């Protein structure tokens, strides 16, 4: 086995947390270094996995978002639709999983159409109409 | 479609190259690669009202293309010509670096490029454009994390799909035409554009067909003239040295 390389670092942690790590290390007869490294590995793996699936998870969770992205896909590719929708949500501080009808102002939908028009020759008003029809109402 | 596009192509091609040819337009910076392709496509479309073209630009914005074409007197037929502006779209979504991880970027570009033609879609698209341009292959490839064999494999598959659908395609490559790149082998045609500087006071733009499968053609460089109606192919260049 290849021996691991270690790097020394200094961080400040909560006093109580420190005591708990120390106690666990004694109990398990392991070094604090191992306990902390293991915990960080788990955290990082979890975060990285979350990032991998996060991109399109909201489509399963939110039928309105799904309808919108589905309609966008008529004009641009699925990959582009996803990227644009997430970006436009982000810039308004919306969580794509928590999109509600009341958030879908004309102005928001038009910003999607404007982005789409770089990639598709869809007419602006036709685009707005399609998006509105997709989410029903209006 | 060449013979039915800008004036003078009949000096070079003795017959029309086959439908569905994948043609590379290669030249150094500023040699009018983009302009030549815009000129060929738009003049063909003006004469063939039912046809459509998609020009895909990855690094230079549509706005910049349009102002260049305006300055050259090349008019793009509005309802037949669509510039797919991936450059501006990228700016719009302001991708972060994790966009470059995995195949996200590759997949996004490939899906966007193939979308209008239904290259990878199972359901048939009837009325897809039969003309496409990709500006440029360099911009398309540089950001990919793929190893070069895998990239080449996918490129080959992509060109094959274009051919299969009989889409006349123009692939713009920025570079020294004398430096071999593996994509040369994948092309049906290679058109070189350049500037002849054998008389430094009188540089001349030229077009030269290096290869075109399926048709007899001239080998010499021909002048690429800028007229008030756009580009034209003129006389062969005499006394030309590389
Ligand atoms: N009206 C004009 N008359 C003469 N030359 C012109 C005119 N308009 C543009 N040019 C020249 O054409 C060049 C641009 O042409 P074009 O963009 O088609 O070249 P390119 O090979 O695609 O360049 P790039 O490598 O930047 O993509 C300009 O840099 C300029 O030198
Ligand atoms: Mg160019």
Q: State pLDDT tens for residues B153-168.
A: 888 999 999 999 999 9
Evaluate if residue B222 carries a pLDDT over 60.
yes
List, for residues A101-115, the tens digit of each pLDDT value.
888 899 999 999 999
State in Å: Cα B75 to ligand 2 middle: 17
Burial of B200 (0-12, 13-18, 19+ CB in 10 A): exposed
> How far is the alpha carbon of B108 from chain A, nearest alpha carbon, in Å?
5
Ligand 1 neighbourhood includes B160 CB (under 6 angstroms): no
- Residue A62 has a pLDDT of 87
- Domain for residue A115, yes or no? yes
Q: Find, among B113, B112, B116, the residue nearest to B80 by Cα.
A: B116
Q: How confident is the model at residue B96 (pLDDT cuts 50, 70, 90)?
A: confident
A75 and A129 inside one domain = yes
- Residue A138 has a pLDDT of 42
CB-nearest partner of B89 from A51, A78, A119: A119
- Residue A50 has a pLDDT of 57
Whether A77 has its CB under 8 Å from any CB of chain B: the answer is yes
Instruction: Identify the residue with better confidence: A137 or B14.
Output: B14
Q: How confident is the model at residue B145 (pLDDT cuts 50, 70, 90)?
A: low
Average pLDDT, chain B: 91
> B-chain residues within 8 Å CB-CB of A123?
none
Q: Are B88 and A118 an interchain contact pair (Cβ–Cβ within 8 Å)? A: yes
- Domain for residue A6, yes or no? no
Ligand 1 neighbourhood includes B228 CB (under 6 angstroms): no
Q: Which domain holds residue A92?
A: 62-134
Burial of B97 (0-12, 13-18, 19+ CB in 10 A): exposed
Instruction: Please tell me the distance from the alpha carbon of residue A104 to that of residue B237, in angstroms, as a whole number.
Output: 61
- Domain for residue A82, yes or no? yes
CATH 3.40.50.300 at B17-193, yes or no: yes
Q: What ipTM goes with this model?
A: 0.87
List, for residues B194-204, the tens digit of each pLDDT value.
999 988 899 99
H helix intervals, B101-147: 104-114, 137-142
HEC profile of chain A:
CCCCCCCCCCCCCCHHHHHHHHHHHHHHCCCHHHHHHHHHHHHHHHHHHHHHHHHHHHHHHCHHHHHHHHHHCCCCCHHHHHHHHHHHHHHCCCCHHHCCHHHCCHHHHHHHHHHHCCCCCCCHHHHHHHHHHHHCCC
Instruction: Identify the residue with better confidence: A71 or A52.
Output: A71
- Domain for residue A3, yes or no? no
A93 and A115 inside one domain = yes
Q: Which residues pair with B23 in a beta bridge?
A: B170, B189
Distance of CA B19 to the CA centre of its chain: 15
Ligand 1 neighbourhood includes B139 CB (under 6 angstroms): no
- CA dihedral B83→B87→B89→B90, nearest 10 degrees, is 160
Instruction: Please tell me the distance from the alpha carbon of residue B51 to that of residue B46, in angstroms, as a whole number.
Output: 9
- CA dihedral A81→A86→A88→A92, nearest 10 degrees, is 160
Whether B95 has its CB under 8 Å from any CB of chain A: the answer is yes
Kindly list the distances between the CA atom of residue B97 and the CA atoms of A106, B33, B102, B143, in Å, as whole numbers in the listed order.
31, 30, 11, 11
**Which atom of ligand 1 lies at the shortest distance from residue B35's CA?**
18
Ligand 1 neighbourhood includes B33 CB (under 6 angstroms): yes
> How far is the alpha carbon of B120 from chain A, nearest alpha carbon, in Å?
11
Number of domains in chain A: 2
Q: Are A83 and B94 an interchain contact pair (Cβ–Cβ within 8 Å)? A: no
Q: Find, among B114, B107, B142, B148, the residue nearest to B129 by Cα.
A: B114
Average pLDDT over residues A2-15: 84
Q: Which residues pair with B133 in a beta bridge?
A: B55, B170
Which positions ≥6 away from B71 have C-beta within 8 Å?
none
A46 and A66 inside one domain = no
A67 and A126 inside one domain = yes
**Cβ B28 vs Cβ B175: under 8 Å:** yes
- Domain for residue A56, yes or no? no
Instruction: Please tell me the distance from the alpha carbon of residue B241 to that of residue B29, in angstroms, as a whole number.
Output: 19
Q: Which residue of B has its CA nearest to A80?
A: B108
Longest dimension (CA), chain B: 57
State in Å: Cα B58 to ligand 2 middle: 10
Q: How confident is the model at residue A2 (pLDDT cuts 50, 70, 90)?
A: low
A68 and A127 inside one domain = yes
Distance of CA B161 to the CA centre of its chain: 16
Instruction: Please tell me the distance from the alpha carbon of residue B81 to that of residue B52, in angstroms, as a whole number.
Output: 6
Kindly list the distances between the CA atom of residue A75 and the CA atoms of A100, B40, B93, in Å, as whole numbers in the listed order.
23, 27, 17
Ligand 1 neighbourhood includes B100 CB (under 6 angstroms): no
Indicate the pairing of strand B168-174 with strand B204-212.
unpaired
Average pLDDT over residues B165-186: 94
């Amino acid at each position: 086995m290849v021996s691991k390389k270690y790097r020394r670092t200094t961080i400040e942690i909560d006093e109580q947390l420190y005591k708990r790590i120390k106690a666990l290390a004694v109990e398990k007869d392991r070094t604090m270094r191992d306990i902390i490294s293991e915990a960080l590995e788990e955290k990082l793996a979890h975060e990285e996995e979350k990032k991998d699936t996060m991109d399109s998870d909201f489509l399963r969770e939110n039928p309105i978002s799904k309808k919108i992205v589905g309609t966008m896909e008529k004009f641009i590719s699925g990959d582009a639709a996803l990227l644009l929708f997430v970006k436009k949500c982000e810039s308004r501080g919306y969580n794509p999983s928590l999109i509600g009808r009341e958030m879908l102002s004309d102005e928001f939908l038009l910003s999607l159409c404007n982005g789409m028009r770089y990639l598709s020759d869809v007419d602006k008003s036709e685009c707005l109409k399609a998006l509105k029809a997709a989410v029903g109402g209006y | 479609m060449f013979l039915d596009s800008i004036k003078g192509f009949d000096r070079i091609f003795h017959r029309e190259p086959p439908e569905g040819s994948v043609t590379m337009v290669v030249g150094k910076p500023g040699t009018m690669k983009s302009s030549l392709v815009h000129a060929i496509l738009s003049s063909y479309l003006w004469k063939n009202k039912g046809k459509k073209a998609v020009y895909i630009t990855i690094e230079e914005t549509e706005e910049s293309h349009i102002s260049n074409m305006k300055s050259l007197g090349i008019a793009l037929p509005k309802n037949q010509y669509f510039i797919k502006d991936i450059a501006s779209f990228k700016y719009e979504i302001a991708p972060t670096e994790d966009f470059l991880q995995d195949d996200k970027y590759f997949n996004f570009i490939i899906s966007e490029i193939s979308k209008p033609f239904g290259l990878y879609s199972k359901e048939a698209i009837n009325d897809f454009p039969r003309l496409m341009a990709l500006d440029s292959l360099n911009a398309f490839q540089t950001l990919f994390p793929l190893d070069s064999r895998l990239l080449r494999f996918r490129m080959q598959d992509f060109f094959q799909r274009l051919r299969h659908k009989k889409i006349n395609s123009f692939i713009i490559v920025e570079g020294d035409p004398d430096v071999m790149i593996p994509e040369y082998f994948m092309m049906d045609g290679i058109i070189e554009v350049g500037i002849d500087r054998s008389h430094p006071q009188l540089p001349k733009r030229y077009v030269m067909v290096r290869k075109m499968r399926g048709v007899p053609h001239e080998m010499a460089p021909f002048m690429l003239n800028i007229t008030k109606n756009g580009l034209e192919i003129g006389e062969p260049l005499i006394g030309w040295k590389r």
